Structures are given as C-alpha cells and as structure tokens.
Amino acid sequence: MTERTALILDVDTGIDDSLALLYAAGSPDAELVAVTCVSGNIDARQVAVNSRAILELAGRPDIEVALGREVPLIRALETTPETHGPQGLGHAELPPPSQPLSERHAVDLILDEARRRPGEIMLVTLGPLTNLALAVMREPSLPRLLKGYTLMGGAFGVSGNTTPTTEWNIHCDPEAAAIVFRAWGSAMAADPSIARPVALGLDVTERARILPDDVVRLARRAGSTPDDSIALARGEDPMLAARSVASRPIVRYVADALRFYMEFHARYDGFYGAFIHDPLAVAAALDRGLVTTEPLYVDVETRGELTDGMTVADRRRLTGKPPNLDVAVSADIPVFLDRLVERIGGLAADHPDVSR
C-alpha cells in the first residue's frame, strides 16, 4: 500500500494552483487534508470559490476549504487578471461550488491541524505567505509541529517575473515572506531536528513548461474524445478552439484554463505553452527526489528602491548565518510531466460525469 503524505495546500487559485489541486487530488501518495485561501493571483474570496469548484470537479467536495486573510500584512492588494483571467481560471467556466466554506479561518485551520497531528502535516504554500506569517507569529512552534514545509516562491539565481528582481508570490507580501523565513531560521537554531523548508523558485519552476502536446497526452490518458490529435495532424494549434469539446470534464477544464495561460506566455515569454509552477511544488512535496537543493540563508528585501521583494540568497556565506531554506536548483521535469499527465489524466478518467 502506498504511504500517503498529509497535505495542507495554501493557495491563491489561479490557473497553475488549480492544476496543483487536481494533481494532489489525483495522487495516490497524497492525503489532501484541507485547502486554505489567500489573496494573490486574485482576491481571496474568489480564490475560495475557485478552489471549491475545482475540488468538486475532481470529485472531492469533502475537502475543507478555509478563507484566510484577504489583504497583505502591510501593503495594498495586487492581483494579476492579465495572467489568470478575470476570475482566475483563464477561459474555463465551472459551476458555482455547492459546498460551503469552512467555519474556521485559514490560520486557525493550519494551527488546529498541526497541533492535532504533530509531525504529520506537510504544508505547501502556492501563493503569498500572508496566512503562514500570521500562523507562525501566533504559534512560533509551528515549524516543529509540521512534518515539513514546501513553498513555491522566490527567484534565487534568475531574474524575477514581476520586477527584474522579484517573483510574484514574494512580491505581493514581502513582509510576510521575511517573517516566515526568519521564523524557520529561529526555530531550527533552537531545534536542529526541524527540517529546512524546500523553496521552489523561478530557477526551477520556469523549466516546468506544459505544451499543447502534453495536454493531448493527458486527454488520451483520460480516454477523452476528441483528444485534439486531428487538429495537430492538420498543423493547427490544438488549443485555439473557442471552448474545449473534450468528453471528460476535467480535460475540458484543463484545456480551457491553459489556453488562456498559453496565450499569455506567447505574448510575454515567446513560447506557446505555460509555466506550471505550483504543480511542481506539490510534486516535490510528495517526492523530494524530484528536486536537487542547495542549503542557503535567504532573507527578503522590504525597503529597496529597485530590489523591493527580492529573495536575497547568501551563496558565498558572507553573512555567517546558517541556511534557513533548501533552495531547489534543478528538477526532473520529464518525470514530473509524466506524473502530471498520469495523475490528472487518471483523475479525469475516473470522473467523467460532472455536468457541463
């Protein structure tokens, strides 16, 4: 029997967060305990709607979804509809969720579950670190209570995707990220048995590109018809239909959501495909062997005129401070993409009857 990792995902569900939710729901080695919502790609209330709708699409309406803080700790809220669409799910449309939000606040949920199951919960943050900063300020022993912590965020050896030096999740609430990184550093200094957080920044997540051929592979794994191979054979782009007509609802969703994301990357990054940052972070949380990491001391700039929000990694050990993050420097992207196709495609095959 496959050993399962208990996951709490803290999300700002946009497009790649939604794929991360589907990846977790389709993973036999994941026990998805709960989902907590933070503002980032879109506002937190829409994040909560999207997350519940995705979980219902995946056949998991039982998963608790909790609303967290709706604004950054100090700064004004920024969102990115140009990247993820006005509702955060690209061109996709889903029925409103039928399940209510949790009565618990996201921060309460994270702390309650960590205390209830000490040493069992793997926390994964896929958006700004606002909720986690509040949680660790309230409960400084949180790093010791968790099994581990994985984040998608930062740019450690590459340019940013929001400013020349900053990645979006850190950019939205750099004060929260600074609190989290310093809190883990302090906790590890007091208790060396605490594992360093694993940070997947743009250095590795921008190598995780999903292309139209991968969507075709996913559709075929799902047994969905049509699978867009006819459009490929004619030399047409398989993602340019007004709406997907795939027979599997999850495949329809993936195709419609990703078409928006691929159009965005075609305009700004020079390729017709999409970076799928967040599913890679979930995959690495479930299988650390997917990534190679370097232990580094990292802090976050919160006042720089040109570098505000930059994740500053001390690669030469100039500060003399011990590492507080395991920063991913490479990832096995082919294996990851194969798993994504298998897990989301398998989930789609198992859930063919969600109404349009």
DSSP state of 325: E
Amino acid at 217: R
Residues 67-77 as b/e (b if ≥16 CB within 10 A, e otherwise) read bbbeebbebeb
Amino acid at 105: H
φ/ψ of 317, rounded to 5, equals: 60, 35
Task: Enumerate helices (H) and strands (E) in the chain, giving the number of each.
Answer: 14, 12
Cβ contacts of 320 within 8 Å, gap of 6 or more: none
Annotated catalytic residues are: 277
Amino acid at 275: F
CA nearest neighbour of 155 among 307, 302, 267: 307
HSE-up of residue 6 (Cα within 13 Å, Cβ side): 13
DSSP for 120-184, written as a single string: TEEEEE-S-SHHHHHHHHH-TTHHHHSSEEEEE---SSS--SSBTTB-HHHHH-HHHHHHHHHHH
Length of the chain in residues, anyone? 356
